[in-house]
Amino acid sequence: MLAEEQRISMADRLRADFPALHQSVNGRPLVYLDSAASAQQPSCVIDTVAEYARHDHANVHRGVHTLSHRATDAYEGARDKLAGFINANSRREVVFTSGTTEAINLVAQSFLRPKAGPGDKILITHMEHHANIVPWQLVCEQTGAELIVAPMDDSGTLDTDALYALLDERVLLVGVVHVSNALGTINPVEDIIREAHAREIPVLVDGAQGVPHKAIDVQALDCEFYAFSGHKMFGPTGTGVLYAKEALLDAMPPYQGGGDMILEVSFDKTVYNELPYKFEAGTPNISGFVGLGAAVDYLLGVGLETVSELEKDLLEYMTARLSELDGIRLIGTADNKASVQSFILGDIHSHDLGTILDHQGVAIRTGHHCAMPVMQFFDVPGTARASLALYNNRDDVDRLVSALTVAQEMFA
């Protein structure tokens, strides 16, 4: 446990690693509170990508020449780092995708669609991001299966008893978000996985907002699938991971066809490549994954325990400071939360609020956060959302609160 002074100096040290934070926006020093949408990148990630482009760039798995070997080593080295980062049993279980969205679509089309039919069910929760709703709706349209939804309460806490009551022999898969991007709720995925497994139901965890904030051990979780995005964990955009248990990946058909996912092709028959390449058709985002490997090194260097502790402390501070504002309605007040606070301020439309804050150099996200069912539940068109990362500090929160006060005065 870090003392308060240590926490403050640690956050300031980490902040120095992120060049984008050291600029003025609209004449004011930038306060970046939109890391749940996309986190900033530390110098080590930016430099690794630049070095790769300067010296090592070539296509992977294809060439006999030196640069292709170097590119392949860097790219596959990143896979080893990611496998270690989530404690996968094997690098074959780490499929590179363009992000969480593609990872979930892969599972929907390759794992679920061939099994699903009328009368089957896919169980998700009311707090899912569209990326963990729409791919299942597509499967339902394609197969006649039904999407069912576990409820949450007014604090944004999942009703796990209701979820367990929905688990029956027709449920083919449970899809659950680890940390809600709109509410910040941390779901008890360990319990959900245990209960689902007791009924032999596989579980996909949407870890887009989990991975940047807490240590993930997929073997301890024992989930069948865990999906996450590189750009929310300080890596480049266009990178992501589908972790899946090897036996499942072995049995699943390819998601896309093309180069690299084959061993042999003739017009009569194609033999697919071994794992994980069977699921990686075409030239991948090589430099992006090389950068993601550097992001893993960075996060491990800081330590996920430290990250969780810094953010927990700052979230408490932010929630307390926001609560001081007249007419504020906090959306998402579950006991177990991470990194995100959504809110509505009086009658001010969230987009107006976002614009007024931007004029003061404060970046937040506004709108439905790709979680429209959450907005429907709270009967709001959208919210303002401030999201934290390891580089934020109390000054950022104070600047947020004073910018909100300015907005209130403008609308008074």
Q: Which residues bind ligand C6P (CB under 6 A)?
A: 36-37, 99-101, 129, 131, 177, 181, 206, 208-209, 229, 365, 369-370
Cα–Cα distance between 302 and 253 in angstroms, integer?
A: 38
Question: Would you say 206 or 311 has its CB closer to ligand C6P?
Answer: 206
Q: How far is the CB of 391 from ligand C6P (least distance, A)?
A: 17
Question: Would you say 10 or 331 has its CB closer to ligand C6P?
Answer: 331
| Cis-peptide, bond into residue 373, ω within 30° of zero | no
Q: Which of 329, 348, 324, 290 is nearest to 397 (CA)?
A: 324
Question: Would you say 383 or 408 has its CB closer to ligand C6P?
Answer: 383
Residue at 257: amino acid letter: G
Q: How far is the CB of 232 from ligand C6P (least distance, A)?
A: 7
Q: How far is the CB of 372 from ligand C6P (least distance, A)?
A: 11
| Distance (Å) of CA 29 to CA 25, 42, 143, 189, 296 | 6, 18, 52, 39, 28
Residue 216 tokens, joined:
């993930």
Q: Which of 191, 244, 235 is nearest to 212 (CA)?
A: 235
Handedness of CA 206, 209, 212, 217 (dihedral sign): negative
Question: Would you say 78 or 133 has its CB closer to ligand C6P?
Answer: 133
Q: How far is the CB of 160 from ligand C6P (least distance, A)?
A: 18
Residue 130 tokens, joined:
């569209």
Question: Would you say 71 or 357 has its CB closer to ligand C6P?
Answer: 357
Question: Would you say 209 or 393 has its CB closer to ligand C6P?
Answer: 209
DSSP 112: I
Question: Would you say 10 or 389 has its CB closer to ligand C6P?
Answer: 389
Q: At a CB cut-off of 8 Å and minimum separation 6, what does 323 contact? A: 330
Angle between helices 394-411 and 350-359 (to 10 degrees): 120
Residue 251, judged by CB atoms within 10 A of its CB (0-12, 13-18, 19+), counts as: exposed
Q: How far is the CB of 132 from ligand C6P (least distance, A)?
A: 6
Cα–Cα distance between 53 and 72 in angstroms, integer?
A: 13
Q: Is 44 a known active-site residue? A: no
Q: What would the DSSP string read from start to end of 28-76?
A: EE-EE-BTTT-----HHHHHHHHHIIIII---SSS--SHHHHHHHHHHH
Q: How far is the CB of 369 from ligand C6P (least distance, A)?
A: 5
Instruction: Provide the terminal-to-terminal Cα distance of the chain, rounded to the nearest Å.
Output: 43
Q: How far is the CB of 193 from ligand C6P (least distance, A)?
A: 17
Handedness of CA 336, 338, 340, 341 (dihedral sign): positive
Catalytic residues: 370
